[in-house]
Amino acid sequence: MDWSWWPVTTQSFNILSDGFRRKASGTSFVDTVVAAEQQIMTAFRNKGLTIRKEQA
Amino acid sequence: MTLTYWSWLKNVQKVADIWNASHPNVQVETVWIPSGNRGGYSKLYAALAAGGGPDLAQVEMRTVPEFMLVNGLVDLSRYGARDYANRYDPALWSQVSFSGGVYGIPQDSGPMATFYRPDVLAKVGASAPATWEEWAAVGQELRSVDAYIDCFSLADTSYFVSFAAQAGARWLRPAEDGWVINMTDDSTLKVARFFDRAIDDGIVTTAYGPFTPGWYAAASSGEFASLTSGSWADALVQSVSGGAGKWRVAPMPIWDSTGYGSSYLGGSTAAVLANSKHPREALEFAVWMTSTQAGIDAEIANSGIGWSPVPGMIGAAREKPSDFSGGKTTTRTSSCQRVSRRTWTGLGGPSPRSPSTF
Amino acid sequence: MSTAAETAHPAVPRREGRDRARQQRRAVTSAPWILLAPFLALFALTFIFPIIAAVGSSFTKVTRSGLFGETGVHSGFAGFENYARALGDGSFVASIGRVLLFGMVQVPVMIALCTVLALLLESASAKWPGFFRAAYFMPYGVPGVIATILWSFLYVPGLSPLVDAAGSVGLTVNFLGPDTVLWSIANIVTWSYTGYNMLIVIAQLKAIPSEVYEAARVDGAGPFRVAWTIQLPLIRPALVLTTVFSIIGTLQLFAEAQVLQTVAPAVNSQYTPNLSAYTTAFAYNDYNVAAAQAVLIALAAFILSFTFLRFTNRKSS
């Protein structure tokens, strides 16, 4: 399995679970994952790390 | 010399004592810390910031990069860690290797499997689902007998991450010019959509996550037909009141066309911390503990660790038959082994695994 | 000794004598400082310094380069960046809103409840007031973490006899749902602190001179009249004090939410402002933003308490 962990995993997991909790109020997991990607990129940049979105 | 080792494994000093008996010059003293994010890491971070800390510490796979970020780990490749790489499961070894260095020695892992209650599934005439589509169909039927196929933890994202990884996602990768993120790939979105539907259809409950008091209460009244989790969950499902001997294990369901046969949930390393004065000896202890028959057997007997990181050395205790086999010839170890072999040796090839190989 | 000093004195040149006088004066002015030094040192070290360190930390930022900061870590002045980040974090702002809502409901309920209990226990017709005073106060002796664990056995479906009982009469109650868990926490807090606040009110009630009661009785005041026109106005300071403590306590909500997190999926990692600062500091290892959050929480507590005191003072004058 091709998988690497990254330096803000705890925060990323919390970003996702905080989003998942909004499922009850109608936010789908798909929306949460899309939004989480942005928030995780922000978290990286706040630490001064460089991150970019994978080019399709 | 004396090495200190901070860990939340229970009775890990007994494991160290076995090493100490044969290594009079390198004695290992263990200190118990609360597990990971429950306080162990903040102790470690504080100790590192103060210029101290133990020689070795238990650090989860997923937290290794976080400790690297505070410059908290020793690159063990400088002390010859690569010589031991061939002992370890390559998938685990790759998770501790970054930018040409090695930042932890895999200690245990959690290859995923499905723990199920044949008696509950029998109410709808089903057996352990082989694919996630089947899982959803069985789950739908189970609602008619007031049972759930599983719960979905909103609070513990690691399950979702493991499912996405099983489907073939790779969220982040390090590249020359920084990190590259891709969480909106087809695999992740497929898994997200799948569980969106499962919850919308009421197939799973989100009222509690696995192993919370609510889950135990529901499980003991037979409300759950199955639980897909890490191999280490075996002891926990056995501890459901009235559940002893009722649970069986099967390979986890697969995604139809893509991805892998199984996934990992959890897993930790023995890492050497930046302020250690004896990194070479610390590495030797870590390798002894995690990759020799004596170390692994002692860790299983005393600390109840998850799945051994060394293929072919699952630990003597786990080669015996267990309750999970239901008294037949298959053992729980062989089914977990099958899961992990299927998953982790089949991963080298680029072609997605086909369901028929189970 | 003194004679030796006196005889030596005339031999001292004038200039030196002036110096000596100045030295004495200096000794007089420095003596209090020397005597105060132990206090001041401790005060500065244990009281002022942590505040300065937290505020300083909130204006600092650490940036890293490379994949893991391996090519450089810089720390420097951040200006208000950490504050902007804390306030730009929707979850943190939401947590402040959440505890404000909590406080607006829970604090009045608790203060009213503790006042009623205190008046009942101090009324002439109270039976076994000593026993009930101790009983109501007892929950305060239970640490918040333990109290939450105790209550969670009444909240968790499958374990809770309350949920079962409601279910048997056809009611579905969910104490841990997204809309209810905040009030489940309020219930734990009320249970824990009502008795404590009641004791403060009782202490003030006991300080009311008996002549006042006698005078009231002579004037023909019944128990309700006594409570309304004598006791309530006279325990005002105690009510103001307990309310201010409760407002501050509300902003500091932490243990209850953290413990319920394990059984209630609705409680997220930033459910209360303190939990948010804790998560930022110890889970994300971002002490600077956590310090900014801490300063903001302290400011909020200060502003709210101050506003409340101003409001009550104006009303009384």
- Strands (E) located in chain B: 2-7, 27-32, 56-60, 97-98, 101-102, 105-116, 172-175, 178-181, 226-230, 248-251, 264-272
Contact A50 B179 (CB under 8 A): yes
pLDDT digits (tens, 9 = 90+) for C170-214: 888 899 988 899 999 999 999 999 999 999 999 999 999 999 999
The two counts, helices (H) then strands (E), for chain C are: 16, 2
Confidence of residue C25 (pLDDT cuts 50, 70, 90): confident
Q: Tell me the three state secondary structure of residue B103.
A: coil
Contact B119, B246 (CB under 8 A): yes
- C-alpha neighbours within 13 Å on the C-beta side of residue C250: 31
C268 to A11: CB separation less than 8 angstroms, yes or no: no
Any idea where the domains of chain B sit in the sequence? 2-110+265-316, 111-263+327-357
C221 domain residue, yes or no: yes
Each residue of B195-248: pLDDT tens digit? Answer: 999 999 999 999 889 999 889 999 999 999 999 999 888 888 988 988 888 999
The reply to whether residue C266 touches residue A21, judged by beta carbons under 8 angstroms, is yes
List all residues of chain C from 237 to 266 with a beta carbon under 8 Å from chain A: 265-266
The answer as to whether A16 is a domain residue is yes
C94 shares a domain with C48: no
> In the prediction, which pLDDT does B335 show?
42
**What interhelical angle do C236-251 and C181-206 show, nearest 10?**
150
Domain that holds residue C184: 89-316
Counted across chains A and B, CB pairs separated by less than 8 A come out at 121
- Average pLDDT in the C271-277 region? 95
From chain C, pick out residues whose CB is under 8 angstroms from the CB of A8.
Answer: 284
For residue C164, pLDDT beyond 70: yes
pLDDT in tens, C64-120: 888 888 888 888 998 999 999 999 998 999 999 999 999 999 999 999 999 999 999
- Whether residue C309 sits in one domain with residue C222: yes
Question: What is the predicted pLDDT for the residue at B351?
Answer: 27
Nearest residue on chain A to B183, alpha-carbon basis: A37
C50–A contact, CB cutoff 8 A: no
DSSP B183: -
The tens digit of pLDDT for each residue in B8-32 reads 998 999 999 999 999 999 999 999 9
3-state secondary structure at position C63: strand
Please check whether residue A31 touches C, CB under 8 A.
no
pLDDT in tens, B147-197: 999 999 998 999 999 999 999 999 999 998 899 999 999 999 999 999 999
Q: Are residues C223 and C126 in the same domain?
A: yes
User: CA C135, C137, C141: angle at the middle one, nearest 5?
Assistant: 110
Domain holding A21, by residue range, is 9-46
Residue A22 is assigned to a structural domain of this protein: yes
Identity of the residue in A25, A47, A49 whose CB atom sits nearest the CB atom of C178: A25
pLDDT of C262 reads: 84
CATH topology of domain B111-263+327-357: D-Maltodextrin-Binding Protein; domain 2 (3.40.190)
Res B261 pLDDT > 80: yes
Q: Does any domain span residue C72?
A: no
Q: What is the mean pLDDT of residues B294-298?
A: 91
User: Does A31 map to a domain?
Assistant: yes
Residue type, position B353, single letter: R
Chain B residue with minimum CA distance to C286? B70
Contact C266 A24 (CB under 8 A): yes
**Same domain (yes/no): C189, C254:** yes
Percent of chain C predicted with pLDDT > 90: 68
Is a pLDDT exceeding 60 seen at residue C309? yes
Beta bridge partners of residue B287, listed in sequence order: none
d(CA C221, CA C213): 9
Grade residue C243 by pLDDT with cuts at 50, 70 and 90.
very high
Considering chain B, what percentage of its residues have pLDDT values greater than 70? 89
The token duo for B157 is 């994202």
Q: Chain A within 8 Å of C39 (Cβ-Cβ)?
A: no
Minimal-distance CA residue of chain A relative to B179: A51
d(CA C295, CA B240): 45
For chain C, what is the domain count?
2
Which of A10, A14, A48 lies nearest to residue C64, judging by beta carbons?
A48
Closest Cα in chain C, distance from residue B178 (Å): 6
Query: What is the CB neighbour count within 10 angstroms for residue B117?
Result: 23
Q: Domain B2-110+265-316: which CATH class?
A: alpha beta
Confidence band, pLDDT 50/70/90 cuts, at residue A56:
low
What's the average model confidence in pLDDT over C12-29?
72
pLDDT of residue C316: 66
DSSP B144-166: GGT-BS-B--SS-THHHHHHHHH
In a domain, A2, yes or no: no
Is residue A56 situated within a structural domain? no
- Arithmetic mean of pLDDT, B35-52: 90
Residue A40 forms part of a structural domain: yes
What pLDDT score does B332 carry?
Answer: 41
Q: Is C180 helix (H, G, I), strand (E, B) or coil?
A: coil
Comparison of pLDDT for B253 and B353, the residue scoring more:
B253
- Asked if A28 lies within 8 A of B196 by C-beta distance, the reply is yes
Give the per-residue pLDDT at C317: 60
User: Cβ–Cβ of C177/A24 closer than 8 Å?
Assistant: yes
Average model confidence (pLDDT) across chain B? 87
Is A30 contained in some domain?
yes
Q: What is the mean pLDDT of residues B42-50?
A: 91
| Structural domain includes residue C69 | no
pLDDT of C311 above 70: yes
Residue C75: inside a domain? no
**Nearest neighbour of C284 by CB, restricted to A10, A17, A18:** A10
* C120 in a structural domain: yes
Q: How far apart are the first and last CA of chain B?
A: 50
Dihedral sign computed on CA atoms, order B263, B269, B274, B278:
negative
Chain A residue nearest residue C281, CA to CA:
A11
pLDDT class for C14, splitting at 50, 70, 90?
A: low
- Whether residue A36 is contained in a domain is answered as yes
Q: Provide the domain count of chain A.
A: 1
Task: Give residue-wise pLDDT tens across range C219-234.
Answer: 998 888 999 999 999 9
| CA distance readout (Å), B153 to B158, B194, B208 | 9, 15, 6
Crossing angle for the helix pair B132-142 and B186-200, nearest 10 degrees? 10
Domains B2-110+265-316 and B111-263+327-357 share a fold: yes
What gap in Å lies between CA B154 and CA B209, rounded to an integer? 7
DSSP letters of chain A?
------TTHHHHHHHHHHHHGGGGGT--HHHHHHHHHHHHHHHHHHTT--EEEPP-
pLDDT for position B208 = 87
